[in-house]
Amino acid sequence: MIAELGLAALWLATALAVLQIVSGVLGLRAGEKGAALAIYARPAAVVQAFLAVLAFFLLLWAFAITDLSIKLVATNSHSMKPMLYKLTGTWGNHEGSMLLWVAVLALSGGLLAGLERRLPHKTMSATLAVQGFVALGFYAFLLLSSNPFERLPIPAVEGTGLNPLLQDIGLAIHPPTLYVGYVGLSVAFSLAMGALIAKQVTPDFAKVMRPWVLFAWVFLTLGITAGSYWAYYELGWGGWWFWDPVENSSLMPWLAATALLHSVSVLAARDALRTWTIMLGVLAFSMSMLGTFLVRSGVLTSVHAFAVDPERGSFILLLLGLYIGGALAIFAVRAGSITEGKRFSVTSRESALVFNNVMLSAILAIVLLGTLYPLLTEAFDVRVSVGPPYFNPAGAIFAIPMFIVMGVGPLLRWKQDKPARIQFELSLIAAVAIAVVSVVAILGDYSILAVLGLALSVALGIAAFLPLRGRKIGRVPLATWGMIMAHFGVAVSLFGMASESAFTEERLAAVTPGSTEQLGDWNIELMGVDPVAGPNWTAVEARLAVSRGDEEPTIINPQARNFWAPAQATSESALVTRWDGQLYAVIGEQSEDGRWQLRVWWKPFVTFIWYGGLLISLGGVLSIVGRVRLDLKRRSAVRKGKARRDDKAALSGAPQPEPAE
Amino acid sequence: MIRTVLLMLAIIAAPLSAQDTMPPAPYAYTQLEDPALEAKATELMSTLRCLKCQSQAINDSDAPMAGDMRHQVRTKILAGEEPEAIRAWLVDRYGDYVSYQPEVSSTTWPLFAVPALLILVALLILLRRVGKRRMEGDE
């Protein structure tokens, strides 16, 4: 019954998406009066949201009770799995994760339709029509080529299980957060298209769009941060970013959304960068869809695998072409009708933001090229590897100027400014950067990118707080704190990355129980190795006594796990977190002479990478709260003013005689 | 008859299964004594691809093949070979695919041309905007 209910809910939602499109288009035609059908767009979106979310919860329920008559459950779950991983397994596979994608898409469309009251009727109708159109494509994809509710003719006796790497709390958080971000950008896309179609690219529109972009961006940031930390502790070698195509597909929308976020702020505050905002709105969601295509089409495992079973891939590719092509076509037709907006001089905050938007777009282009190029050549049977040695320097060409402008930009005034006004701040930032470079150069011989990263991060960390100079701390708006926090977060994260790459110490050894290894100022003693068992795995667990200098030893227990359904080995690293870094320990196999492979790293300030990510997200949240609070205050002020005027009118009108009936 | 087939299968299968059960080579999971040599090896290993994994360098992977390659690299470094010579030897054996180090060739030139083009385009966009502003500022 569950499966059929879910399927019915999805089909109903699809029908409502069609209604939403028709109604939205009619609303656009009829103008302010509205045709009879035009009033259905909003309710259609809201009810659709309920239905799609319901379908997702039904699948979640099927996984919870391990309903083995459903094909998806049978191929991805196992009755012996812990409950948490039964639930998270719902989105640990293609169909389930696409259903989650669609549910989030419908939910954000429903929220937009239900909450947004400020937009002109025309823009709103166009926006809802576009949102419905996007949703329709993905419903079709889900129902026609990846039905999550397909039944098996004969229920399976036992499920095949979930990839052990995915049986981790990281998987519980990472994909849903990322999807909220990915798909939240669909609202930005629809709004941008709506404003473009209705020719109303105004600051008021930007103010409506901003919280949505911020919201999606916060979740993307959190998703990427969580994903990076998951890869770090789960893969067992201490790497936290691999420039893997899957990672890149989450980074690309983030880069576009970051640029969009800044652009939309300029539009809201200064009525400039209109075309940029629309273009970036299209780009951001295009990157989300491209990411979905890369991850979901199978093209990454091998172009040839994709060629053998191209149904799903071609479907997404078709949607991708339809939406991006359509958006660009509308943009081309309408671009002439929106002017660029207010002007500004070279040394102004707007210019700094334009500069960084160009840099972010260039970094995005590099990541896109590096991700797609190997796939392109593979189609011609030439295999090329593009990895960190390419992405790091090529990205740095644009990232370094960006970080410098990022430090200076917020200090500049809108519209026009003189560099001489911020002389003190400029020299302070430069002095700090130079000082760090020289200190690090004295310390040792490190790669140039790491040294630059350290210098820029420290300078940026200080620069982030300089906008507060000369202001009353208590009166700084919350949104400004948000910006400061996010920029400081970038500095913190950059510091962690540079420090990890420059100062990491590594010790790989074969050790006998009872012996002690040295790593920097850490002592690591292998006390013993014991067998342990979990609900669906067995493992060897090492008891390591680790101590730094003369302190009391801490006992940590890295494990080498063997899962049995499906059969796979994973290493569970053990971490000791200190304020200035992390000790990372992994136990490997036993060699024939009875010694155990032990891998230990000391990674100074590595945690700052993820603290930085959290700070960036916090900045986004502060900004949303600040903006929304300000907006509510303004709205209530307007309401009160109106009420007072009405009262006055009523008072002055009272003595007048009523018109005779 | 069946017995002969089984025997033959066993003979064919034996080397395959032996590979997975064989203990890893000594330098797969152990560092070189000399920190300078080890640093050299690490730098090289982080730019070599683990052919059996997805987007991982050989010093990021548990795959047996990555372990073998680490052993090869460390042994050769210890024998005094230069990292670039080892890279060339590996590329010779496994193809360009094994190396992450970007090198300009007939198949990779777009990877270098596009960033250069990007710099130009970025400069052009910025100059155009800046130039326009200056003129407007004069008005």
Quick one: CATH architecture of B19-101?
Answer: Orthogonal Bundle (1.10)
From A344, A384, A389, residue closest to B47, measured CB to CB? A389
Please compute the mean of the pLDDT values over residues A144-170 and round it to a whole number.
81
Cβ contact, residue pair B130, A346, below 8 Å: yes
**Same-domain check for residues A176 and A300:** yes
A338-347, A501-510, A594-603, range with the lowest pLDDT: A338-347
The minimal CB distance from B30 to the residues A397, A510, A569 is found for: A510
- The reply to whether A52 and A181 lie within a common domain is no
Q: What is the pLDDT of residues A23-79, one digit of tens each?
A: 888 887 765 555 677 788 899 999 999 999 999 999 999 999 888 888 888 888 888
Checking if the pLDDT of A382 tops 90, the result is no
pLDDT in tens, A429-447: 999 999 999 999 888 888 8
pLDDT greater at residue B97 or residue A162: B97
How confident is the model at residue B125, as a pLDDT?
85
Nearest by CB to residue A383, choosing from B55, B60, B97, is: B97
Among A187-191, A275-279, A333-337, A511-515, where is mean pLDDT lowest?
A333-337
**Nearest Cα to A29, choosing from A188, A195, A193, A197?**
A197
Let me know whether A484 and A513 are in one domain. no
CA dihedral A456, A459, A465, A469 (to 10 degrees): -140
A247 and A335, same domain (yes or no): yes
Q: Which residue has the tokens 């644009």?
A: A398
**A358 interfacial to chain B (CB closer than 8 Å):** yes
Q: Provide the domain limits for residue A288.
A: 168-351
The answer to whether residues A584 and A623 belong to one domain is: no
Single residue among A124, A144, A163 that ends a domain in this structure: A163
State the smallest CA–CA distance between residue A400 and chain B in angstroms: 13
Residues A470 and A614 in one domain: yes
pLDDT-derived band at B133, boundaries 50, 70, 90: low
Select from A128, A163, A198 the last residue of a domain: A163
Question: Mean of the pLDDT values across residues A524-537?
Answer: 89
Q: A311 and A218 in one domain?
A: yes
Q: For residue A72, what is the domain's CATH number?
A: 1.20.120
What pLDDT sits at residue A562? 86
Res. A174 pLDDT band, cuts 50 70 90: confident
Position B78 pLDDT exceeds 70: yes
Name, of A22-31, A560-569, A637-646, B47-56, the range with top average pLDDT. A637-646
Over residues A182-208, mean pLDDT:
91
Chain A residues lying within 8 Å of B46, measured CB to CB? 388
Residues A510, A463 share a domain: no
Which positions in chain A touch B130 (Cβ < 8 Å)? Answer: 346, 351
Mark which of A114, A138, A163 sits at the end of a domain: A163
Compute the distance between CA of residue A320 and CA of residue A274 in angstroms, rounded to an integer: 24
Pair (A313, A299) in one structural domain: yes
Length of chain B counted residue by residue: 139
- For residue A392, being part of any structural domain is answered with no
pLDDT surpasses 60 at A99: yes
**From A63-72, A161-170, B18-27, the region with the lowest mean pLDDT:** B18-27
Give the range with max mean pLDDT: A32-41, A327-336, A585-594, A610-619: A610-619
Task: State residue A334's pLDDT score.
Answer: 85
A354 contacts in chain B (CB < 8 Å): 126, 129
pLDDT of residue A569: 82
pLDDT-based confidence at B6, cuts 50/70/90? very low
For residue A468 the two structure tokens come to 């507060």
How wide is the angle at C-alpha A310 spanned by C-alphas A305 and A314, nearest 5°? 135
Chain A positions touching B125 (Cβ under 8 A) are: 358
| Residue A375 located in a structural domain | no
H or E element: which one contains A215? helix A203-234
Interface residue A569 vs chain B (CB under 8 A)? yes
Q: Using alpha carbons, select from A547, A518, A515 the residue that is nearest to residue A529.
A: A515
User: Which of A216, A211, A15, A17 lies closest to A116 in space, CA to CA?
Assistant: A211
Interface probe for B, chosen from A266, A274, A508, A595 (most Cβ of B below 10 Å), is: A508
Of A168-172, B3-7, B41-45, least confident by mean pLDDT is B3-7
Confidence check: pLDDT of A395 > 70: yes
Indicate whether A172 pLDDT > 80.
Answer: no
pLDDT value of residue A650: 83
Number of domains in chain A: 4
What integer is the mean pLDDT of A270-295? 90
According to the model, what pLDDT value does residue A166 have? 72
List of chain A residues whose C-beta atoms are within 8 Å of the C-beta of residue B114: 365-366, 369
Picking from A25-39, A287-301, B67-81, which range would have the lowest pLDDT averaged per residue? A25-39
Does A522 lie in the same domain as A498? no
Does pLDDT of A285 surpass 70?
yes
B110 Cβ contact partners less than 8 Å away, ≥ 6 residues apart:
A369, A373
- pLDDT value for B22: 56
Cross-strand pairs, A584: A575, A601
The torsion of the CA quartet B71, B77, B82, B86, rounded to 10 degrees, works out to -10
- Residue at A383 is within a domain: no
What's the mean pLDDT when you consider all of chain A?
88
- Using the predicted structure, report yes or no on whether residue A630 has a pLDDT greater than 80: yes
- State what percent of residues in chain A have pLDDT above 70: 96
Per-residue pLDDT, A653: 66
For chain A, the residue count is 661
B9: pLDDT strictly greater than 60: no
Q: Say whether A508 and B29 touch across the interface (CB within 8 A).
A: yes
B14 has pLDDT over 50: no
The DSSP annotation for A280-330 comes to HHHHHHHHHHHHHHHHHSSTTT-HHHHHHS-HHHHHHHHHHHHHHHHHHHH
Same domain flag for A317 and A286? yes
Do the Cβ atoms of B100 and A388 come within 8 Å?
yes
Could you tell me if A58 and A50 are in contact, meaning their C-beta atoms sit under 8 angstroms apart? no
What is the radius of gyration, based on Cα positions, of chain A? 28
pLDDT at residue A296, as a whole number: 79
> Considering chain B, what is the average pLDDT of its residues?
77
Let me know whether A539 and A568 are in one domain.
yes
Interface of A with B in 498-537 (CB under 8 A): 506-510
